[in-house]
Amino acid sequence: MTGADAPVFFQVRYNPFMKWNHVIGIIFCSLAIIILIVSIWPISSFSSHIDFSLPDDLSGKLEFIQPRQMRVGDEAEISLKVVFNQDHADSVPLTLFSKLELDNLEVTPREEGKVTVDPSKPVVYIWKVIPHNAGTYNGTLWLFAESNTGDRDLILARPIELVAKSLFGVSYQMARIIGFIGLITAFFIIFFPIIWQKLRSLTYNLM
């Protein structure tokens, strides 16, 4: 084989910048994964059980559930379950009024709720809240029962305190977007130089 017929191989030189690309890329990837995990990690809730009784001999228990903290920009749920004692299963239907009042906080439903219930079955109220700013929100959860005469009997007037937190000063929705962009950027930093060098090597070998 003559020198003219000998194959020409492209020699890839060691590029110290590739090492730093890997380091920077791994750092970006790690931070992005941490942000994504923190932003989607489930938030725990706590519940309270409260006994109640009404003048017409109706009684039962309330189960109130609220999140330990809220995430700015994310929807949180507050619920109240009303369970009447079994010895009232044959009682006539009862009208309940409920309202969740929270200052400077988006609440759904915001208006007063009215529902006619069968004392033999439990009733569950659910409210959705969305904080747009970090801070502490205070309010009151009201529950009334209306008697046959039209009078309202107070069942519950519970003060509520909710704490909303941001993630690095931004909403959790924005943090997830930043984490996703950071993850894409990290893969680009790590793999683009490798792909680019392989393409250059292939181009030189085909020449």
Residue 93, pLDDT score: 76
Contact call for residues 108 and 76 (beta carbons, < 8 A): no
pTM greater than the 0.85 cutoff:
no
Residue 8, pLDDT score: 45
CATH superfamily, with its number, for domain 43-165: Immunoglobulins (2.60.40.10)
* pLDDT < 50: residue spans in the chain: 1, 3-4, 6, 8-12, 14
CA distance 46 to 23: 42
Task: Spell out the residues 6+ positions from residue 125 whose beta carbon is closer than 8 angstroms to its own.
Answer: 79, 80, 81, 82, 98, 113
> Per residue in 155-166, pLDDT tens?
999 999 999 999
Closest among 80, 158, 145, 156 to 119, alpha carbons compared: 145
Residue 192, pLDDT score: 72
DSSP string spanning 41-78?
Answer: SPPPEEEEEEEEE-TTS-EEEEEEEEESSEETTS-EEE
> Per residue in 25-57, pLDDT tens?
888 888 989 999 998 898 899 999 999 988 777
Tell me whether strands 76-84 and 45-53 are parallel, antiparallel or unpaired: unpaired
